[in-house]
């Protein structure tokens, strides 16, 4: 494998998984933070592209991938995730990292900028901003925590294609199969494929939306103004609107911004128009 597998302990005793790519410690590592129901597998190709020049870490949040599931679903919240990330960086003695945040990972990056800005050498915000579009937010609420099972990975692939074709109109059948392998895992006890996360994310998310007062993330985003930042939006996104994307550029004129055609929520970070931009952006950060 091009990576090694490790665990670190959360402050409340969970074993949390991460992948480590590369050996070069001369430059700030890349810290890859996935979306709400996603995991470290999403960043495999991304990590392989950049691990020659610097280390790359890809984390599984609690309740995802190979990390422990939390018996208290109320701990599935951004404040706890941010604490876990902080604990990871402390345990590895990493003074600064380039945060690569997809969706939830981007929200956590902005949150970290608000209380631990010194840890951020640079930020890549993948299809997320300080405001979440209502249509996309409602879509996520509808599907998170639904324990849908499939007999074969091919069945998974076909279902994923039908559900997300609008977001990825140019993916091949082989691409859909690879994406499905990152999203689902085989459940030996049940003899079928299930989502690779704890279904208790559903009630956790519903409770947060029901009880929590809206948080104004624009002040957190403002903390990135003097930090190299690249923001990416999929032109078909229902999470990051064009209006919010434009406002982000107005609020932070130094920010690199890239709009990707034929992508919804979220870009896969392997799109040809993005790679050259990302190569230059990452290369410019020590």
pLDDT tens for each residue of 71-80: 999 999 999 9
Looking at residue 209, what is its pLDDT?
A: 80
**Does residue 211 form part of some domain?**
yes
Tens digits of per-residue pLDDT, 43-89? 999 999 999 999 999 999 999 999 999 999 999 999 999 999 999 99
Helix or strand holding residue 162 (H, E): helix 153-164
**pLDDT of amino acid 141:** 87
Asked if the structure places residue 170 within a domain, the reply is no
What is the distance between the alpha carbons of residues 278 and 168, in angstroms, rounded to a whole number? 20
Please indicate, yes or no, if residue 180 is contained in any of the structural domains. no
- CATH number of the domain within which 235 lies: 3.40.50.1820
Q: What is the pLDDT of residue 215?
A: 80
List Cα–Cα distances, 105 to 141, 166, 286, in angstroms. 17, 23, 22
Give the whole-angstrom CA distance, residue 81 versus residue 31.
14
Whether residue 209 lies inside any domain: the answer is yes
Our count of domains for the chain comes to: 1
Segment 257-266 shows an average pLDDT of 97
Q: 106-122 pLDDT, tens per residue?
A: 999 999 999 999 999 99
- Residue 172: is its pLDDT beyond 90? yes
Omega before residue 3 within 30° of 0, cis: no
| This prediction's pTM | 0.97
Q: What's the chain's average pLDDT?
A: 96
Q: Look at the block and give the residue holding tokens 């590369």.
A: 22
- pLDDT score recorded for residue 214: 72
CA 208 to chain centre: 19
Degrees to nearest 5, angle at CA 19 with 33 and 83 = 45
The pLDDT, as a whole number, for residue 286 is 95
What is the residue whose two structure tokens read 């809206």?
A: 214
Judged by DSSP in three states, 16 sits in strand
30 by Cβ neighbours in 10 Å (0-12 / 13-18 / 19+) ranks as buried
Whole-angstrom distance, CA of residue 195 vs CA of residue 92: 30
Q: Quote the longest CA-to-CA distance of the chain.
A: 53
- pLDDT in the model for residue 212: 64
Domain assignment present for residue 128? The answer is yes
Which residue from 206, 83, 91 is spatially nearest to 145, judged by alpha carbons?
206
Containing structural domain, residue 134: 3-146+199-283
User: Which pLDDT value is given to residue 97?
Assistant: 98
190 falls within a domain: no
Which pLDDT tens digit goes with each residue over 8-34?
999 999 999 999 999 999 999 999 999
Report yes or no on 171 lying in a domain: no
Q: Are 179 and 160 in contact (CB under 8 A)?
A: yes
Q: Which residues of 1-26 are buried (b: 16+ CB within 10 A; e: fewer)?
A: eebeeeebebeeebebbbbbbbeeee
Please write the tens of the pLDDT for every residue from 200-256: 999 999 988 886 667 899 999 999 999 999 999 999 999 999 999 999 999 999 999
The string of pLDDT tens digits covering residues 139-163 is: 988 889 999 999 999 999 999 999 9
pLDDT at position 208: 86
- Examine residue 193 and state whether it is found in any structural domain, yes or no: no
Q: How far apart are CA 207 and CA 248, in angstroms?
A: 29
């Amino acid at each position: 494998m091009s990576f090694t597998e490790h665990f670190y302990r959360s402050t409340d005793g969970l074993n949390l998984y991460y992948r480590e790519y590369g050996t070069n410690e001369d430059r700030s590592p890349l810290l890859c933070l996935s979306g709400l129901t996603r995991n470290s597998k999403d960043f495999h190709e991304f990590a392989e592209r950049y691990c020659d020049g610097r280390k790359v870490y890809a984390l599984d949040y609690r309740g995802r991938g190979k990390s422990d599931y939390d018996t208290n679903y109320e701990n599935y919240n951004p404040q706890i995730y941010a604490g876990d990330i902080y604990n990871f960086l402390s345990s590895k003695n990493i003074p600064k990292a380039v945060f690569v945040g997809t969706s939830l990972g981007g929200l956590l990056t902005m949150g970290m900028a608000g209380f631990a800005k010194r840890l951020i050498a640079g930020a890549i915000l993948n299809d997320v901003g300080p405001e979440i579009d209502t249509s996309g937010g409602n879509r996520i609420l509808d599907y998170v925590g639904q324990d849908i099972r499939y007999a074969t990975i091919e069945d998974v692939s076909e279902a994923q294609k039908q559900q997300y074709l609008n977001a990825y109109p140019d993916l091949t059948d082989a691409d859909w199969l690879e994406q499905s392998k990152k999203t689902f895992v085989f459940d030996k006890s049940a003899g079928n494929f299930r989502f690779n996360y704890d279904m208790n994310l559903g009630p956790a998310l519903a409770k947060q939306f029901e009880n929590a007062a809206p948080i104004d993330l624009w002040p957190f985003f403002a903390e990135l103004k003097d930090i190299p930042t690249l923001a990416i939006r999929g032109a078909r996104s229902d999470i990051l609107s064009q209006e919010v994307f434009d406002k982000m550029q107005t609020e932070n004129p130094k920010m690199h911004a890239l709009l990707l055609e034929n992508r919804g929520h979220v870009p896969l970070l392997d799109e040809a128009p993005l790679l050259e931009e990302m190569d230059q952006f990452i290369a410019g950060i020590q």
